[in-house]
Amino acid sequence: MNIILSQQKCQIVVLVASSLARLEKNSSLVENLSLAFFSLYFNTFKMKILLIGPSECGKTALANFLSDTTETIGADYSPTQGVRILEFESHNLSNGNKNSACEVELWDCAGDFKFESCWPALMKDSNGVVIVFNPDVPSHLKEIETWYSTFIFSQGLQEAQCLLIAHHKPGSGADTTRPPLAPQLNKLPLIHSNLEEEPEDVRQEFHKYLGNVMRMLSEKQEREEMSIIT
């Protein structure tokens, strides 16, 4: 495998290597520098995405589909207790003029407000938020305003880190017009999800979203690299 590093990354690799040589006795620092080295060398990223929204909107079905989880969901509704964390790899994400791979942690968060005390812990170190709702349930259109203010506005996330999914349950049809949402929500990108009729369209749109988040992570990493050099 031939890997070409930019001049900037080469400078970082040299700094990491020289630091490792000087700090052989500091095992924890050596480990951190090694992780930084491999991230730069192989262009890999890791991101934490929160999947949130009202109860019974279809978050778990979407999470299983997007992560290729083989778990089957029976006819009876089984609410998520707290959170489920699904890990998978996403490849060929567009990152500027190159494609990169990414390790994704998809956090399928419970929609019951009784878990509200856990929300700060769920938000810690998150890189993106996906709000799922059922557009056929009027109360969901209002409730997602709370999810937005708590998980997106409070963290100061940018639009590229956010996604709205109007998830249509099986047999409900698929009205693909944009539902009437609050002004702050209308600024966010929205896709319609119908896993019965057009499942791969949903996967492709989610893949694009991951690419947007990864570009932001890449830009942040480059800024950190420059700060090390300077």
In 18-135, the DSSP E strands lie at: 44-52, 83-95, 98-109, 128-133
**pLDDT of res. 74:** 46
Residue 82 has pLDDT above 60, yes or no: yes
pTM, rounded to two decimals: 0.77
Confidence of residue 18 (pLDDT cuts 50, 70, 90): low
**pLDDT of res. 169:** 83
pLDDT greater at residue 230 or residue 61: 61
**pLDDT of res. 101:** 80
Helix (H) or strand (E) holding 78: none
The tens digit of pLDDT for each residue in 120-158 reads 999 999 999 999 999 999 999 999 999 999 999 999 999
**pLDDT of res. 90:** 86
